Homo-oligomer: A and B are copies of this chain.
């Protein structure tokens, strides 16, 4: 659930209204284009929105990357030129939109979540990414600039790269793959946190463990919310054959699909582990309570009878024959030692210490 903007902000507006939902990053919208084929590659950072329009018609593969969603006019103008459906643009801007795939007549649309570990809060940060695949072009929309596509850009610049020989559909796949690959980092990070937590809970279950368990549960929910709908989206993309996607790319998409399956299985394992840890925590606490109780009971059971005996001989009756025995005092000590030893044996047998 978002804390900055809530989905109900949009309620009541007509469908297709372009409203940006989400955090507003202060940087300007940045549009960059990489245009390439096997032999040629040009990189441009557009000064105006219109600069990216001609790439729609080129024979080469054009990747138009838009960083920043707060300027709805820019998005609308791109949408207009590339003839994107108003509902599609709405979903590009709505960063609370769940991952989904939609097929349109002339293009395919996929929204998904980029996940990263936010070092400061040690929690999963989710960002909204939308991809549109048209004939010879791909547009990617991101909330702001990030490192997620850097490796891919590097690969594009290499003239020998496999990717340069393939079409826009392969680029589309590689963009999805870049995003999904990052999920493994998040899984690994949470996994490590879980291992630390498990160690901690096993030896010292305390209040902090409880908070950490809750924190990790929330991270897994964020992860699930990103992955589960994406799985459905990729199945749909996979199942319906489409003229925009060549057959050779299909196997790669199935590979992405299997990565997602792997991730969901890992999430399930992490959830199981987390609920095991919770169980251990609870058992740890009740175990500790039991130990505390045993200490209390041992102390009370030994000292209450002894104190009672001292009470007896602390009474001020005139006629108390034992008081005047010569070894009365030492006799009492003897009795008390015997009682203590019996008690100790009893607790030993009960394995209380």
Contacts and interface: CB of A to CB of B under 8 A. Distances in A.
A53 interface: no
Interface string A281-316: 111111111101111110111011111111111111
Contact of A293 (B6, B280, B289, B308): B289
A351 B322 CA distance: 37
A177 interface: yes
Given A98-B262, A225-B269, A262-B98, A319 B327 contact: yes
A329 B269 CA distance: 65
A42 interface: no
A163 B13 CA distance: 12
A184 B8 contact: yes
Given A269-B225, A294-B292, A15 B252 contact: yes
A171 B187 CA distance: 38
Say whether chain A's binding surface is mostly helix, strand, loop, or mixed: helix
A332 interface: yes
A297 B290 CA distance: 12
Contacts of A252: 15, 87
A251 B87 contact: yes
Interface string A339-352: 00000000000011
Interface in A46-74: none
Interface stretch (A25-33, A126-134, A207-215): A207-215
A318 B309 CA distance: 16
Most chain B C-beta atoms within 10 Å of own C-beta, residue among A16, A289, A305: A289
Contacts of A324: 318
A225 B270 CA distance: 12
Interface of A: 1, 6-8, 10-12, 14-16, 85, 87, 98, 100, 151, 155, 161-163, 174, 177-178, 181-182, 184-185, 187-188, 191, 195, 202, 204, 207, 210-211, 214, 217, 221, 225, 229, 251-252, 255, 258, 261-262, 265-266, 269, 272-273, 276, 278-290, 292-297, 299-301, 303-320, 322-324, 326-329, 332, 351-352
